[in-house]
A and B are shown apart, each in its own frame.
Chain A
């Protein structure tokens, strides 16, 4: 939720950050810049309030995977980007600083993904209530 608020307040800046990743087709950049923060906000609120916890965790997990892939791809190709995670204002860091930040973000997101896995394990429906697969 903390990450979503600055993006909700300034969609053009967040769309700019999405654009900087150079992974989303041009036609989708604005839509992602507009919708993603709100989805993040609702998923975070649901998790905190304990409403649809499992579903919120799944959604957050999917978003984290997307962020990990986006950061990872750009790290692999040496394209330094401001992650736009908790702030949508570029602070004019050097390429090396940005790449170091990206490595840190990657580790943090993997950690958050482990927390999501923990929520999913804790909210797993009991065996007798699971559908036959």
Chain B
């Protein structure tokens, strides 16, 4: 049998830990801070989020022959109506796209958002992509601020993270969808694939 004083001390250790965590979180920088109550509706689900087709299934009409060459220079891309090739999908938060489509959209100056941690973003990101770290405390403020920029909510936005099992881009897509962006495209293979293809990369905190 465990004595009452033992239980009280165990509880005291837990309370001490929680108190220290609270103080640490209060004094933490934005990148290290967390809201105590999380909002992750799919926290108990395993696998690809509902509404997102498997990565191997192209769901967007193929955008002309896959460009095997590097990203075309701004203005030099072939004429194409992005809104027709990548139509909005108001019935689901996001659609996964293939690397060839990502390159094409990059050439069309589409907005790219990086869902990884800001420290990882600073180490290297798709040139021009903006940082939207879903695991940092100011993500909702960033999403709100993007909404307030008055962008066309039907226009494609490419979101990426670290590829593989990384779901940060899906989480960011959900947040953007909730404020009304209807055309979020997920670059499933993410930044590792971009690097592997030798496409433009920037370092530091700025796009």
Contact = CB atoms under 8 A, between A and B. Distances in A.
Interface of A: 8-13, 15-16, 19, 22-31, 33-43, 46, 52, 54-56, 58-59, 77, 79-80, 90, 92, 95, 125, 130-131, 133
B37 A30 contact: yes
A28 B44 contact: no
Contacts of B136: 12
17 contacts: A8-B24, A11-B28, A22-B44, A26-B42, A26-B44, A27-B38, A29-B38, A29-B43, A34-B24, A34-B25, A35-B21, A38-B20, A42-B16, A42-B17, A58-B2, A58-B6, A130-B1
Majority secondary structure, B binding face: loop
Interface stretch (B7-15, B69-77, B124-132, B179-187): B7-15
A23 to B, nearest CB: 7
B46 A55 contact: no
A23 B43 CA distance: 7
A46 B13 contact: yes
Given A8-B24, A29-B40, A55 B13 contact: yes
Interface of B: 1-3, 6, 9-10, 12-14, 16-18, 20-22, 24-25, 28, 31-46, 117, 133, 135-137, 162, 164-165, 192
Contact of B10 (A24, A36, A38, A55): A55
Contacts of A8: 24
Nearest to A34: B21
A92 B192 contact: yes
A24 B164 CA distance: 22
B1 A30 contact: no
Of A25, A30, A31, most buried by chain B (CB within 10 Å of CB) is A30
Contacts of A10: 32
Contacts of B41: 26
Contacts of A55: 6, 9-10, 12-13
A22 B117 contact: no
B6 A59 contact: no
Of A27, A35, A95, most buried by chain B (CB within 10 Å of CB) is A35
Of A34, A46, A90, most buried by chain B (CB within 10 Å of CB) is A34
Given A38-B18, A90-B162, A16 B135 contact: yes
B17 A41 contact: yes
B39 A92 contact: no
Contacts of B18: 35, 38-39
B43 A56 contact: no
Given A11-B34, A38-B24, A79-B46, A131 B6 contact: no
Nearest to B1: A133
A54 B6 contact: yes
Given A22-B43, A92-B192, A59 B10 contact: yes
Contact of A23 (B14, B44, B133, B165): B44
Contacts of A125: 3
Contacts of B35: 30
A54 B7 CA distance: 10
Of B2, B34, B43, most buried by chain A (CB within 10 Å of CB) is B43
